[in-house]
Amino acid sequence: MASTANAPDSLYHRLFEHPEMVIDLLCGFLDPVMLAELDLANLRRHNTKFTAHTGQRRRSDVVWEIPTRHGGSIFLLLMIEFQSEIEEWMVLRIGVYTGLLYQQLVSERKLKESDGLPPVLPIVLFNGEPRWNVATSLRNLIRLPTSSSLWNFQPEMRYYVIDEGVFPKEMLKGVPYLTAILFRMEYPTDPKTMVAAGQDVAEWFRKNPDGPPVKRLFLELLQAGLTRLKIDPLPSIPEDLQEVVVMLTAHIDRWAQEYKQEGRQEEAVSMLLRQVHRKFGQTPDWVTEKVRSAKLELIEVWGENVLFANLVDEVFADRQ
């Protein structure tokens, strides 16, 4: 069945290098009250110079400056997370980046204390498993009694999370933003849902011909989604998105049948290995290898053999 691997982070960075995609993300998934304070029509990319003590560039390089409705600007720190494990110290990392950003602004813009510092809005865009479940406030990590007077001197930092996998697919279908379709592509349940997302992408660009120049990136996302579903990739990707969708639709019934068959195969493999382990108390390596490489029909025969066999070898009488 589908793996949990997602699109490479370089593809996401290429997507969110476009201001239209950043606006699309914020309009679709930021708290409306916060969104109302931002003048998104005039946001601009801010070049960061974050470096670690080793001299290597910091990972956070997607920073946007956005004017606010009440004057001044806010700096959006967009942290794109693709790790297989959740970063439990994310809030600490964001605090470090915020300090580095402020140092850069003070140096470049010759800020004085009377000028003050601009606000920041850290957003973590998470594409992975499991669901994001770690502290979003630095103070939640500081071990200090709630009654302590030392809280007045403790640092505070918070961030906003957009966890792609938490949104129900049916809800995302009703969200009129390109990033909603992107989230559907990242978590396809079967070939039909992937092709449906591709059809919606093509329709979105048909209705928005002046949209961001990211059609090719969405074609790559479609290809990556098919790969995650263990479907043979298309031999070539046409430049026209609608043509790709027509090509995918022509293969959808066969892919759906193959995907269903693969699901039955994996379920049968898992069940047979459990039966062998329960009856014989062990699962030799040769058994695991043999079962995983066998066809479904033969696995079903072996499943019946388990009921009557006294030795594990008797289950697989044809072992070479």
Mapping DSSP onto H, E and C, the string for 178-233 reads HHHHHHHHHCCCCHHHHHHHHHHHHHHHHHCCCCCCCHHHHHHHHHHHHHHCCCCC
Is the C-alpha dihedral spanning 239, 243, 248, 251 positive or negative? negative
Over the stretch 254-285, which tens digit does the pLDDT of each residue have? 555 555 656 666 777 788 788 888 888 777 78
Inform me whether the pLDDT recorded for 247 exceeds 70: no
Read off the pLDDT of residues 95-127 as tens digits, 9 standing for 90 and up. 999 999 999 999 988 888 888 999 999 999 998
Residue ranges of the domains in the chain?
A: 9-166, 252-315
Rounded to an integer, the average pLDDT of 239-267 is 61
Has residue 2 got a pLDDT over 80? Answer: no
Q: Name which residue leads in pLDDT, 9 or 193.
A: 193
SS3 77: strand
The whole-number pLDDT of residue 77 equals 94
**What was the pLDDT predicted at 60?**
46
- Residue positions counted in the chain: 320
- The DSSP secondary-structure symbol of 170 reads H
What was the pLDDT predicted at 123?
95
Report the predicted TM-score, pTM, of the whole model to 2 decimal places: 0.71
Residue 293's pLDDT band (boundaries 50, 70, 90)? confident
Cα separation of 277 and 265, whole Å?
Answer: 19
Residue appearing with tokens 């289950």: 315
Range of weakest confidence among 51-55, 61-65, 111-115, 216-220: 51-55
With a cut of 60, say whether residue 253 has pLDDT above it: no
Question: Residue 144 above 90 pLDDT?
Answer: yes
